[in-house]
Amino acid sequence: MSDLLDVKKLRVTFPTASGPVDVVKDISFSLGRERLGIVGESGSGKTMTGRSILRLIRPPGKVTAERMDFEGTELLAISEPAMRKVRGARISMVMQDPKFSLNPVMTVGEQIGEALAVHEKLPRRRVKQRVLEMLEAVQIREPERVFGLYPHEVSGGMGQRVMIAMMLIPEPSILIADEPTSALDVSVQGEVLSIMNDLVTRKGMGLIFISHDLHLVSAFCDRILVMYRGEIVEECRADALHAATHPYTRGLLASVPRLGETRAELPVLDRSAWETA
Amino acid sequence: MSAISLTNVSIAYGGNTVVHDASFEVAPGESFALVGESGSGKSTVLRAITGLAPEWTGEIALLGKPRGRTIDRAFAAECQMVFQDPYGSLHPRQTVDATLSEPLAIHGIKGADRRVPEMMAACGLDPKFRFRLPHQLSGGQRQRVAIARALMLEPKVLLLDEPTSALDVSVQAEILNLLKRLRREQGLTYILVTHDLPVVSFLCDRMAVMKAGRIVEIAPVSALADDGLTSDYARELVEKSRSGLA
Amino acid sequence: MTTREWLLTESPSSRMQARLGRSYRVWRALIRNPLAVVGAIIILALVILALFAPFFATHSPYTGQLTQRLLPPSGDYLLGTDELGRDIWSRIVYGARITLVIVLLVGAIAAPLGLFLGAISGYFGGWTDRILMGITDVFLSMPKLILALAFVAALGPGIENAVIAIAITSWPAYARIARAETLTLRNSEFIAAVRLQGASALRVILRHIIPLCTSSVIIRVTLDMAGIILTAAGLGFLGLGAQPPLPEWGAMISRGRSFILDQWWVATMPGFAIVIVSLGFCFLGDGLRDVLDPKSGAKS
């Protein structure tokens, strides 16, 4: 399996009043044409990991890595203009809440067209055609109508589909999805995930799926990284999650209530079990 | 006499009816869940019971007494609510101490200096948090403060609006355990609003499934485990939850 | 444990310590802002000048010697003398008292009034809001100085009436700010939570909403102080504010106008005083905005 992305010793540091703090501590992982899940709780560094790949960490935050190789390009070495060509066109990102990521004064169609135009010079009519095709691909029923809508006129689920369309239209090699469904309803969640899954597998993209939800990730991804306090504490195949070995992963799995719960009390994470080690 | 009873309650927001003909009864000491997706009207039912959504018709009774459309102190002493977002439900400029003393001050109850630390201990809050501001607390600690605030007046009924959905899984377990223990210790009646069926399974006895403003099914929680649900929609929700997509 | 650690601790052990700690944090953030420090020093100087005016004044502010009239600045008369032979420096020093009184009174009347009306308007909404904001809009749509002129003309010239007129013309701005903030707070869950505890509307407004609006109003008042001083000076200049022989700065400029070409200092010196004090309030206001503005986050 050829790796799309190879990361070695990635470190993200933020200065604070009491000295620099590493929010991501020397993590290494690689991504092939697969669905990789990164799971962790708030403050685990999962979002920072995703953003650092796109060099979206703002100063004073600092990103260093021994290697961050994307299809032969060292991402941390190239210039900002070169990075801009990578961002969106070859690696894109879907954020948590579509409401904040879409420009409120541009129609949906214009925005998706813009995303395409930045990376590819096409005649106008062709752009519109491609946008409509893309809207259809994310299962929007009346693409012609949605093309002319403004972001506030579409529902949450549709907004997230529009975001996905916008991110996938330049046909990137890697899609980073940061909690793409946690603002959505259960019934819509499934649809959005299957659309994303379909596009990723059909086009042979690599997907980094960032989420706090262990069960969701294990149902959806091929491989899982579990992050805790900036470190990867567990790496396993998604179908082998139940056999996870690290106490943190096991604790997390156990602390989630189940359907038909019979336990009188949920086990609570005992962080002292591994933090001293 | 039931702790809460709703009879043919329809609730509107600005003239738009969002809940239609909801009826259910919750026995004293029972834990009852309202389950549904966003927009199903489940939170609106809670807001109508509290008086925060006053445009309703039908009958709502709390502990046998019919509810009016306003919030009065007698009602406040018997029924309190815990909100979803622990970041939005605490006054940003008030210390934990001020937040917890306020209900006592409103009701003219003396002895805040004794009651506040007691309640903090009952809700698992370290005494050193007493004079901190909300931004100096974690999400789980804030939710504990919100629960403590709701219990300061020693109410009989607690309305819980997605109390753990904004929290991390490991913290969710702690808060769920706390809620379960408090209910047992103080004999509280719960109405829990959530979209998360496993949480219902852990914390509740009975549940009502809501869809588009209507109650489609009321069933005991055991139906989640032994496939006892009858309506298509409720079965669909369970299926989704089981597949891990919820 | 040093006092500093005691103040900055994450876990204060009493209400008092928590409150002092918070004030100390604001204070620390403020003194790290050089402009705010300059502003604070200017205003502190104004306060000291006003309090100890007899000590700083070299001559009487009211009686002069006609033989000494219109003298340029010198060792004896630091900033020169005016057309009645009065020492300009001493008059400016005593004038600081008048300026300070105007500023404080206007602040004390207009800010709470605006804050309260704005909060009520925003909290209740509906007709209350429409009526109150209608009145505010009427006031806001007229130039401040013209409106103040109209009031003074109706009430009669004099410093008290000038203060009342300025206060009446400046509250609408604060009411607008308070209303806007209240609207964003009104539907928040922490306000719903207090209401659910049975708190009366008055209690919710006074104890939970107004404390959150105060910082933006304080910032705005501080920034407005310059304008208030200028309006007061403007009324004085037109002869409608403080009456002679009171050493009000605006009135002093007005009288110096006739000599502006030959004896420039008579009008210029009080002008400088106005500019410096206005600047001081602006600097402090900017600094306060950086420290207190809730939108800049609770990083202190």
DSSP string for residues in chain B = --SEEEEEEEEEETTEEEEEEEEEEE-TT-EEEEE--TTSSHHHHHHHHHTSS--EEEEEEETTEEP-SS--HHHHHHEEEE-S-TTTSS-TTS-HHHHHHHHHHHTT---HHHHHHHHHHHTT--GGGTT--GGGS-HHHHHHHHHHHHHTT--SEEEEESTTTTS-HHHHHHHHHHHHHHHHHHT-EEEEEES-HHHHHHH-SEEEEEETTEEEEEEETHHHHTT---SHHHHHHHHHHHTT--
Residue B22 lies in a domain: yes
Residue C3 lies in a domain: no
B170 and A268 within 8 Å at the Cβ level: the answer is yes
Residue C200 lies in a domain: yes
User: Does the global pTM surpass 0.90?
Assistant: no
| C176: containing domain | 25-63+83-296
B106 and C298 within 8 Å at the Cβ level: the answer is no
Residue C18 lies in a domain: no
User: Above 0.85 for ipTM, yes or no?
Assistant: yes
A265 and B180 within 8 Å at the Cβ level: the answer is yes
- The domain tally of chain C equals 1
Least Cα separation, residue A113 to chain B (angstroms): 31
- The domain tally of chain B equals 1
Interface test with C, best of B52, B93, B129 (most C CBs within 10 A): B93
What are residue C99's phi and psi, to 5 degrees?
Answer: -55, -45
User: Tokens 């990578």 — which residue?
Assistant: A86
* B102: chain C residues, CB-CB within 8 Å: 194, 197, 199, 207
Report yes or no: A79 at the B interface, CB cutoff 8 Å.
no
- Which of the pair, A120 or A252, is modelled with greater confidence? A252
Q: Which tens digit of pLDDT belongs to each residue from B214-232?
A: 999 999 998 888 888 888 8
CATH of the domain at B70: 3.40.50.300
Q: Which tens digit of pLDDT belongs to each residue from A175-227?
A: 898 888 776 776 677 777 887 888 788 888 888 999 888 888 888 888 999 99
- % of chain C at pLDDT higher than 70: 97
Closest Cβ–Cβ partner in A41, A186, A257 for B198: A257
Residue B221 lies in a domain: yes
Task: Quote the pLDDT of residue B245.
Answer: 55
C197 and B102 within 8 Å at the Cβ level: the answer is yes
Residues A54-59, mean pLDDT to the nearest whole number: 84
Residue C91 lies in a domain: yes
Please give the mean pLDDT across all residues of chain A: 83
Maximum average pLDDT range among A145-149, C117-121, C210-214, C239-243: C117-121
Residue B141 lies in a domain: no
**pLDDT at residue A2 tops 70:** no
CATH of the domain at C100: 1.10.3720.10
**pLDDT at residue C226 tops 50:** yes
Closest Cβ–Cβ partner in A187, A255, A261 for B169: A255
| B82: containing domain | 4-41+54-90+156-242
Residues of chain B short of pLDDT 50, as ranges, are: 246
Omega prior to A59 cis, within 30 of 0: no
Residue C196 lies in a domain: yes
Residue C75 lies in a domain: no
Nearest in space to A109 (alpha carbons), one of A133, A93, A77: A133
**pLDDT at residue C90 tops 80:** yes
Residue B118 lies in a domain: no
